[in-house]
């Protein structure tokens, strides 16, 4: 009887599941057939809201359930943003741009690239206006390119200079007996400093101060040109908090007006030449991209391949958020074998990670460089392992505000021996040979430390040699600027780690020059796929684990949790940026 009940239940479950899949399948077909086509109306204003996460490369999911069930994360792709602004320059239906965003969820280098493209848009004769209830520094840096900047009468503004906060856990480790055992090379290799000290080292303070000043200086130069204020005036405003409210910000010429949004919209209507009683045609950046304006359409046979390496470096396949040697190397081989690809741009936006995966990608890049020129374009960050995979390119571009360098390595393993002793747990091991495997329940042995240190030193020397070979420098010259030190893009250009300052467009133009091609189109890699099993596992009624943790812990506590979890999950020797640094 029980067997029959189970059999009937199984059959019923099968048909219910089949029915759900059947309904979803036809819902997808119906949705795709009836999807509204985005139409750009005449006398439109392009609205830039950059509060969603900006990735260098965010290809549309090939998973149909993402679109139908509304599960996509709404990420913006930097290459599509730049293409959309480029297309808007010559689009007769777009009269101007409205920058209206509460924040910019991108790095300073990405904002710098968007600013440059907006300046080109202004040069075409069209207007740019900006409005926000509150301006933080990144939002203001972007908005400062506008012809006029407005703020809500009871809004606010932050203009105080850059700062960085680093959390240290040494006292916590000593108190509870849960620690990270660290072996490193490089006096500036501060990725693990929070776990071995309770305050910032002089070397770390030196490097953070240096690159923060460099990045802030670049931001001030750009703002100075746009607002016609000297760098000295801007620093005085920041030092004395002379933009702490809308009235002071206007008095000190950081903004042009203090108005409510309805008045701002009426002003936009005047700018496009319509009566205030009529509706303003605004099209969001996302919809403008969806209309097909996120691409530069070309039919040339020759191609420049752009391979995006974004996220931390892991050993394995990788995905759209993490760099794995399998996906990147597959993309390199595909571009190498395509006879129409004349040159390759490797776009790097990574704090580094696995030293082994970095070296495997370095080797594939070496093989590729023998057949086709490779140009590197650095995004917000291309440091440590991110620099490892960049160093052997034929030519390297970085934005002045890129964070790069950090040529150094470390090994870190968790250890809870003091904690388990406190709570009365003892671990015993049995081995067949003299050398014992590492146990997190026992203090790190001298032999294990020495062997690991030897591995760290070997990889550091390999790293420095790779850079020396790629940059045509001596080991001693690289070692002098290595030691795990982090540099801004401008500093890296001065010390020889970078060839030229500029963004992705400049890198593509250089690659085309090296590939001896003038008429070409862009081919983007890698290609990401979602299999059917992953698609069917999606649940529209459940928040992601990340969303739940953020909601329960709060953004700040979630960041602490994520950093500790990432470090505890590291495998093998790491070439990684000091990721605990938060610039704000």
Instruction: Give me the sign of the Cα torsion angle 59, 63, 64, 66.
Output: negative
| Residue found by looking up tokens 């057939």 in the block | 33
Cα–Cα distance measured from residue 394 to residue 548, given in angstroms and rounded to the nearest whole number: 45
Tokens for 432, please give them. 């067949």
Backbone angles phi, psi at 564, to 5 degrees: -65, -45
384 is catalytic: yes
Contact between residue 368 and residue 344 where contact means Cβ atoms under 8 Å apart: yes
Measure Cα distances from 178 to 168, 241, 411, 441, 566 in Å: 14, 42, 17, 10, 16
For 424, residues 6+ apart whose C-beta sits below 8 A from its C-beta are none
Backbone angles phi, psi at 198, to 5 degrees: -110, 10
CA nearest 540: which of 47, 145, 85, 27? 27
Is 194 in a helix, a strand, or coil?
helix
Backbone angles phi, psi at 153, to 5 degrees: -55, -30
189 is catalytic: yes
Cα–Cα distance measured from residue 292 to residue 289, given in angstroms and rounded to the nearest whole number: 5
Of 117, 126, 129, 189, which is the active-site residue? 189
Cα–Cα distance measured from residue 177 to residue 180, given in angstroms and rounded to the nearest whole number: 10
Tokens for 83, please give them. 């293409």
Contact between residue 415 and residue 439 where contact means Cβ atoms under 8 Å apart: no
Q: What DSSP element (H or E) covers 304?
A: strand 303-310
Backbone angles phi, psi at 504, to 5 degrees: -65, -40
Task: Give 273: exposed, middle or buried? Use CB within 10 Å, 0-12, 13-18, 19+.
Answer: exposed
Of 44, 144, 384, 406, which is the active-site residue? 384
Contact between residue 286 and residue 76 where contact means Cβ atoms under 8 Å apart: yes
CB burial readout 378-415, b (16+ within 10 A) else e: bbbbbbbbbbbbbbbbbbbbbbbbbbbbbbbbbbbbeb
> Which residues are part of the catalytic machinery?
189, 384
């Amino acid at each position: 009887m029980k067997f029959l009940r189970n059999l009937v239940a199984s059959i019923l479950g099968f048909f219910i599941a089949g029915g759900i899949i059947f309904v979803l399948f036809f819902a997808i077909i119906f949705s795709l057939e009836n999807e509204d086509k985005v139409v750009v109306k005449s006398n439109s204003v392009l609205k830039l809201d950059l509060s969603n996460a900006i990735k260098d490369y965010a290809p549309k999911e090939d998973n149909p359930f993402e679109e139908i069930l509304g599960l996509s994360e709404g990420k913006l792709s930097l290459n599509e943003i730049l293409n959309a602004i480029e297309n808007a320059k010559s689009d007769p239906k777009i009269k101007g741009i409205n920058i209206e965003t509460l924040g910019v969820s991108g790095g300073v280098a990405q904002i710098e690239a968007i600013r440059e493209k907006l300046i080109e848009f202004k040069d075409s004769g069209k207007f740019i206006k900006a409005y926000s209830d509150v301006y933080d520094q990144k939002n203001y840096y972007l908005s400062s390119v506008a012809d006029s900047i407005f703020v809500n009468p009871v809004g606010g503004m932050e203009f105080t200079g850059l700062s960085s906060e680093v959390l240290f856990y040494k006292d916590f480790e000593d108190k509870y007996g849960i620690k990270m055992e660290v072996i490193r090379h490089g006096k500036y290799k501060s990725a693990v400093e929070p776990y071995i000290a309770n305050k910032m080292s002089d070397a770390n303070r030196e490097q953070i101060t240096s690159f923060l000043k460099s990045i802030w200086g670049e931001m001030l130069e750009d703002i100075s040109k746009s607002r016609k204020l000297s760098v000295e005036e801007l620093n005085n405003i920041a030092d004395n908090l002379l933009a702490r409210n809308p009235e002071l910000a206007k008095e000190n010429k950081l903004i042009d007006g203090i108005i409510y949004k309805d008045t701002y919209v009426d002003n936009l209507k005047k700018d496009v030449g319509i009566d205030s009683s009529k509706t303003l045609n605004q099209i969001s950046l996302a919809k403008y991209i969806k209309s097909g304006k996120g691409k530069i359409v070309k039919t040339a046979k020759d191609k420049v391949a752009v391979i995006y390496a974004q996220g931390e470096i892991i050993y394995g396949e990788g995905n759209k958020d993490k760099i794995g040697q399998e996906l990147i190397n597959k993309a390199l081989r595909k571009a190498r074998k395509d006879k129409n690809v004349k040159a390759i741009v490797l776009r790097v936006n990574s704090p580094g990670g696995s030293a082994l995966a970095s070296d495997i990608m370095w080797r594939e890049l070496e093989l590729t460089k023998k057949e086709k020129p490779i140009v590197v374009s650095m995004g917000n960050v291309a440091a440590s392992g991110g620099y490892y995979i960049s160093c052997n390119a034929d030519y390297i571009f970085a934005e002045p505000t890129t964070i790069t360098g950090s040529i150094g390595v470390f090994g870190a393993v968790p250890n809870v021996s003091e904690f388990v002793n406190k709570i009365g747990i003892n671990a015993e091991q049995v081995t067949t040979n003299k050398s014992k495997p590492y146990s997190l329940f026992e203090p790190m042995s001298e032999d294990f430390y020495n062997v690991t240190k030897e591995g760290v030193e070997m990889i550091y020397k390999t790293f420095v040699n790779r850079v020396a070979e790629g940059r045509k420098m001596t080991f001693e010259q690289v070692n002098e600027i290595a030691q795990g030190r982090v540099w801004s893009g401008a500093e890296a250009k001065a010390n020889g780690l970078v060839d030229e300052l500029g963004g992705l467009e400049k890198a593509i133009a250089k690659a085309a020059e090296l590939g001896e091609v003038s008429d070409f189109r862009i081919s983007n890699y890698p290609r990401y796929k979602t299999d059917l099993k992953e698609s069917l596992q999606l649940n529209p009624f459940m928040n992601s684990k990340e969303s739940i943790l953020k909601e329960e812990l709060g953004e700040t506590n979630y960041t602490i949790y994520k950093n500790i979890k990432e470090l505890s999950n590291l495998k093998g020797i790491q070439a990684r940026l000091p990721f605990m640094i938060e610039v704000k």
